Chains A and B, each alone.
Chain A
Amino acid sequence: MATVEFQGISFDIDEDGFLQRFEDWCPEWVEYVKESEGIKDLTDEHQKVLDFLQDYYKKNGIAPMVRILSKVTGFKLKHIYELFPSGPGKGACKMAGLPKPTGCV
Chain B
Amino acid sequence: MAFISAGYDPKHPMQDRITDIGPRKYDEFYPPVIAKNKGKWLYHEIIEPGMLMHKAESGDEVYTVRAGTARLCSVTYIREICDIADKYCGGHVRWTTRNNVEFMVEDLETAKALKEDLNNRKFDGGSHKFPVGGTGAGITNIVHTQGWVHCHTPATDASGTVKVVMDDLFEEFGAHNMPAPIRISMACCLNMCGAVHCSDIAILGYHRKPPIIDHEYLDNLCEIPLAVAACPMGAIRPSKHEMPDGKTVKSVAIKNERCMFCGNCYTMCPSLPLSDKEGDGLVIMAGGKISNRISNPKFSKVVVAFIPNEPPRWPTLSKVIRQIVDAYRTDARKYERLGAWAERIGWERFFEKCGLEFSEHLIDDFRDPAYYTWRQTTNFKW
A residues at B contact (CB < 8 Å): 20-22, 38, 57, 60-63, 85, 99-100, 102-104
Contacts and interface: CB of A to CB of B under 8 A. Distances in A.
A62 B225 contact: yes
Nearest to A100: B221
Interface residues of B, number: 15
Nearest to B269: A102
21 contacts: A20-B217, A20-B220, A21-B220, A22-B220, A38-B14, A60-B225, A61-B224, A61-B225, A63-B223, A85-B13, A85-B14, A99-B222, A100-B221, A102-B222, A102-B223, A102-B226, A102-B268, A102-B269, A102-B270, A103-B268, A104-B267
A99 B223 contact: yes
Contact of B223 (A38, A62, A104): A62
Contacts of A104: 191, 267
A37 to B, nearest CB: 9
Nearest to B250: A61
A79 B255 CA distance: 43
Shortest beta-carbon contacts, A-B, top 8: A62-B223, A38-B13, A21-B220, A102-B268, A61-B225, A62-B225, A61-B224, A99-B221
Contacts of A99: 220-223
Contacts of A57: 223
Given A20-B220, A38-B13, A102-B270, 18 more contacts: A20-B221, A21-B220, A38-B14, A61-B223, A61-B224, A61-B225, A62-B224, A62-B225, A63-B223, A99-B220, A99-B221, A99-B222, A99-B223, A100-B221, A102-B226, A102-B267, A103-B268, A104-B191
Contacts of B217: 20
A103 B151 CA distance: 12
Contacts of B222: 99, 102
A63 B221 CA distance: 12
Interface of B: 13-14, 191, 217, 220-226, 267-270
Contacts of B225: 60-62
Interface of A is mostly: loop
Nearest to B151: A104
Nearest to A19: B220
Q: Which of A57, A60, A62, A102 has the most CB of B within 10 A?
A: A102
B194 to A, nearest CB: 13
A102 B217 CA distance: 15
Contacts of B220: 20-22, 99
B14 A103 contact: no
A98 B226 CA distance: 14
A21 B13 CA distance: 28
A20 B270 CA distance: 12
Nearest to B191: A104
A99 B222 CA distance: 6
Contacts of B221: 20, 99-100
B224 to A, nearest CB: 5
Contacts of A38: 13-14
A102 B225 CA distance: 13
A21 B221 CA distance: 7
